[in-house]
Amino acid sequence: MSDFHQTELIATLHRLKTGADALKRLEDDLRRFVRTCPTVLVLPCLYEELKREALQGIVAELNGVDYLQEIVVSLNRASEEEFLHARAFFAGLGERVTILWHESPRVASMFAELESNGLFLGTHGKGRAIWIAEGYVLAKGTADVIAFHDCDIRNYSKELLARLIYPVVSPDLDYAFSKGYYARVAEKMYGRVMRLFFTPFVRATRRILGESPFLEFLDSFRYALSGEFAMTTDLARLHRIPVDWGLEVGILSEVYRKVSPVRVCQVEVCETYEHKHKEVSHEDPTSGLLRMSIEIAKMLFRSLAIEGVTLTKGFFDTLMVVYLRSAQDAIKRYSDDSAINGLSYDRHAEELAAEAFAQAIRTAGEAFLADPAGTPLIPNWSRVTSAIPEFPDRLREAIEADNA
């Protein structure tokens, strides 16, 4: 059973009741709520994920969900033949499914038009997949809430979706943004980037900088790096999106600047969460968890600079030392937690991972000092419509033509 601990800054909505009756109550409520608050689910998806059991299980569960207005599959890295296969793959979900094919000649030409007008889109990836799907939903103008979750969840249940959107769809709760959280545990603890990097990293930064409402906000999330979140379309119109692994931190940074904390919550969406695990890649900072941690750190440094914090080489040197000690303290606690629960725990591997993450902080700090502005964020949709007023409507027409 879940606990009922509340953080100081944002609301935490726990999973205190489980089972068929609890899920039925949630779904009955959602069917009422969506009559006045239509909701769309966006699935950022690589074509290769269609070959995996995880996505097949997700589609099977979504077959039993009847309160969504639309499901938008933001399909990346697919040929025309693969796009047609994707249409057949998702056909069982009915006419409410739209495939947003990034490599479509129509959509690709619109990407090029944005770039030619000085609107940065970055490389193909999850950030762009989320952004373009938001633009399509906003152009249709028929939804009030957009939910997002990944396509590699191996133990997916429709309860996850119901709990994720409930706080934003409910007229009584009135949240503008909800973030999913869960335990990453099976025979051992997973979620190394969150456990061993992000949380010790944020807390080490707080120790050095002192009082920081922004860092307190980030530290309030139990799983800040989760890919499951929901938001109002008003927020989707205004926020900017990173194009790299700093995506989740970048979105939270935008939420912090755009929404009062009283309208932000985290919600426990499932008991455990299982997906594909990445390696740390100790010797290769361009891949795996090491690359992820570098890009997360760079995004956090940039967000701190936006808040007016001056970051120097001395700060980064101190941060490496403070972080490593904070991570080592966490490792002791996770080792003890694993012992009492009978979980496998390789303390040496965890220590090596923390040391690699410390080097990631050094690399990210050097990159920040060399170029504080870093990679631009994708512009929000308010700016796009300001630059090219008719663009969202033409995007919607292009996507609908691809699906005709």
Tokens of 149: 């979750």
Residue 6 lies in a domain: yes
Alpha helix stretches (DSSP H) within 6-157: 20-33, 53-62, 80-90, 105-116, 126-140
pLDDT for the residue 404: 87
pLDDT in tens, 270-281: 988 886 655 566
130-153: per-residue pLDDT in tens? 999 999 999 999 999 999 999 999
The tens digit of pLDDT for each residue in 345-377 reads 999 999 999 999 999 999 999 999 999 988 889
Q: 267: helix, coil or strand?
A: strand
Residue with tokens 């725990």: 345
- Quote the tokens at residue 232: 């109002």
**H helix and E strand count, the chain:** 16, 8
Average pLDDT in the 217-225 region?
96
pLDDT band at 254 (very low <50, low <70, confident <90, very high): very high
The average confidence (pLDDT) of the chain is: 94
- Which pLDDT score is estimated for 278? 57
Establish if 48 belongs to a structural domain.
yes
The sign of the torsion formed by the CA atoms of 223, 225, 229, 232 equals: positive
Q: Give a yes or no: residue 200 inside a domain.
A: no
Q: Is the pLDDT of residue 52 over 80?
A: yes
Q: Indicate if the pLDDT at residue 282 is higher than 80.
A: no
CA 376 from chain centre, in angstroms, equals: 18
Residue 99 lies in a domain: yes
Whether this model's pTM surpasses 0.75 = yes
CA distance 129 to 247: 11
- Angle at 41 (CA atoms; ends 250, 244), nearest 5 degrees: 25
What pLDDT, in 10s, does the model give residues 86-102?
A: 999 999 999 999 999 99
Looking at the predicted structure, is the pLDDT value of residue 1 above 60? Answer: no
In a domain, 274, yes or no: no
- Domain enclosing residue 33, as ranges: 1-174
275 lies in a domain? no
CATH number at residue 144: 3.90.550
Q: Is the pLDDT of residue 215 over 70?
A: yes
Please give the share of the chain, as a percent, with pLDDT higher than 90: 87
Residues 6+ apart with CB under 8 A from 76: 44, 45, 46, 47, 102, 124, 125, 128, 129
Query: Is 158 within a domain?
Result: yes
Residue 344 has what DSSP assignment?
B
Please give the tally of structural domains in the chain: 1
